[in-house]
Structure 1
């Protein structure tokens, strides 16, 4: 017969090992297909790979030098800067405004909240196609205005090299503002009511309560919203492809689009990998300080 102590020990060991056994396959998959391919891309960026990976030819930092001398990459960075700043700032302002509006316990909150959140349920491809049709002068807003008699109305930003990038900003804001609103609304609902009641007793107005008490307490929510939006901005690809495919010309190219076109369209796998590594460094530059501040805050 097996001793009771041995059975108990075996059960305890199995209980300790079971979570590790369950998590092991997913951990292995992540290790290979995420971190493994990051390392693989890093090696590619230092190689002379063209159509296919070629590790027999090492060029060092030549791909990175060529990358930052390429005019299309410079345009992509400029577009990313315009897109990121406008996208993050306007989404944050609209999201906070909508959250404050809903936080007033207005009638129909349960009806309005899903309306604001609905765009986030759509993929960026669907959003891009819808806004492409809406902004197309031949079938969209301009055509509709002409049909009702406003012949002088003109809105051709999506066809204008100088303004096309702003149409992508508009579509991205439309999709993401509701998500940011939900983040801010959760933060607002998490503020201690006792603090607000104390401020009201002291005679503080609603505006002052939000400005001096509630919004400063929501610093972690602002930081989280910034990280999420910045991450989406850097990876922006499908929305751009669906709306303009980088056009007119290269006026709406972004780093993600540059990477795809040079890797698969122009057989410059080495330089495409270099652009991917630069994009990863951009994301790390946002994520690492965020994680450091969060983990540092918990340690305190």
Structure 2
């Protein structure tokens, strides 16, 4: 269920399935469901699909029960809807492990903090970020697990300053730079001096002040001029999107709010978004995007938000 999840009939079937298993279901609800089911053969097919998803969700029920006990406002209905969506949506089965779970330095949702490193360098960490340091007599290595950081590197000719993130390494050449690691894509933007970026495929480039480059599964991209005000806007609790695909926008907003955001249709993921939002109001930003683009949000408490096309 990826593209078909954007079909309003499939979404209705998921809603009915959850409602029928809720302990508050009424006789009127059951009668309305029977009427809906008999109205169209497509309804029955969608219902069977929802039942198949439940069989997979049932395997995860003990874990969801544990989450539910820790979140009293999270209703059985919302929890089930979230579980079914996670199993059937384009994002696949959501694992509960997190990158950087045992990182040396972390930030929570919506938190920013500046860390002074042992060599005198500093890094400002953005929302939901994590890194660890590994300093020796020959190098200063940072393992950057997730999120975004602004690095101000102290000079030390004897020890290289390396930031490993994803499938690549950024070497500071006496510099200040921003590094963002979101959705398996790493973006490096240089604010002062230069860096050298090298990927595991041995592609290497020198990135000068005012330029940025991204790398990921598709390899090392081409450098482009960076709008440094936009790149560093997060340091002032703002986030700027300039013709950014919706899927990347949603991944970015997910770092500033509780709960998953799942894009239920790849077909709308490429829609460009240009906007400026306050990071402290990510929920309002998400709703504004939905209203502007004519897409729909289906919220399951604070656990998951489904994003799909309006028919």
Structure 2-normalised TM-score? Answer: 0.24
Structure 1-normalised TM-score? Answer: 0.25
Pick the structure with more strand per residue.
2
Using CA pairs under 8 Å that are at least 6 residues apart, name the structure with larger relative contact order, 1 or 2.
1
Which of structures 1 and 2 has the bigger CA Rg?
Answer: 1
Pick the structure with more helix per residue.
1
